[in-house]
Amino acid sequence: MTVSGSMSSGYCSLEEDIEDYFFTARENLSRKSAKLQVQNVPKEEKKPSTQELKQKIESFNMMVQNGLIMKMADDGTYTGFIKVHLKLQRPVTITDTSQAPSIYTISQVSPKKPTEKQTPFYLPVDAVKQLHISSVTTASEVIRGLLLKFQVVDDPLKFALFKQLQRDGQVLFQKLSLTEHPLYLRLLAGPETDVLSFVLKENDTGEVQWEAFTVPELQNFLLILEKEEREKVLQVQKKYASFREQLQEALTDTTRKPV
């Protein structure tokens, strides 16, 4: 992952990181065209038998065009790939470090753990992370893993994993429960991301619950708002200065014309 830009300003550009990110069962992670937000989340249907899963995986792999197939283990679990699109509207807080932590340290990392230096910035909209996960990996684990990968120290409960569907020309977002298994949903939908894709968004339940943020996070938001306010004021001042100049030129031209 490469981070560039002025970190002190609260803004940053982030190159799309497409390296694989692997989760296994052993890694126990403490787990708006028209757009409709679907609030009622149905439970996952009953899982098929091992033989049925094997047949589904074989059918899935036959449709794969990029070689990212699913593989089944002897214990009936299987691994495969999903892509998660980041659609975050608010800034996040990251640790200012030169090396990302290892996946194997996720279970030991606490989102509330203090760091030497933390920096607020906006993740680029529609950044994509390709993940290699297991059939037992939950949505909660995917969220925590993504945050750790991007060195985001915000509480994972501030975010939610959504599945994005297209139906009757509309784009539908449906929030996954924390215990749902994204790879199983990928298997059922097939490999085409036009049919199903995954999106990380803020876990909005209505108005922003500011009390859920820490004092440093709220202070960072104020700094960002102040910077945006100064930029907006400057834009308005330049706009009206330009209008004023044009009116003065027109007035001068009019007064110079013979009567």
Which CATH entry fits the domain spanning 3-211: 3.90.1150.10, 3.10.20.90, 3.40.50.300, 3.90.850.10? Answer: 3.10.20.90
Q: Are 145 and 107 in contact (CB under 8 A)?
A: no
For residue 6, which phi and psi values (nearest 5 degrees)? -85, 105
What residue type is assigned to position 24 of the chain? T
Number of neighbouring beta carbons within 10 Å of residue 166? 12
Residue 221's identity, in one-letter code, is: F
Q: How close are the terminal C-alpha atoms of the chain, in Å? A: 70
**Domain coordinates in residue numbering, the chain:** 3-211, 214-259
CB contact burial 221-239 (16+ within 10 A = b; e otherwise): beebeeeeeeeeeeeeeee
Closest CA to 129 of 182, 172, 185, 184: 182
One digit per residue, the tens of pLDDT, for the chain of length 259 reads 333 333 333 333 333 443 444 444 334 333 333 344 444 444 545 668 889 999 999 999 999 988 889 999 999 999 999 999 999 888 888 876 544 443 333 333 444 444 447 777 788 877 899 999 999 999 999 999 999 888 888 889 889 999 998 877 788 889 999 999 999 999 999 999 888 999 999 987 555 667 767 788 788 888 888 888 898 899 999 999 998 999 988 888 888 776 5
Query: Which DSSP letter does residue 153 get?
Result: -
Residue type present at position 79: T
Q: What span, in angstroms and rounded, lies between the C-alpha atoms of 113 and 101?
A: 14
Q: Could you give the dihedral angle defined by the CA atoms of residues 55, 67, 46 and 22, in that order, rounded to the nearest 10 degrees?
A: 140
Identity of the amino acid at 21 = Y
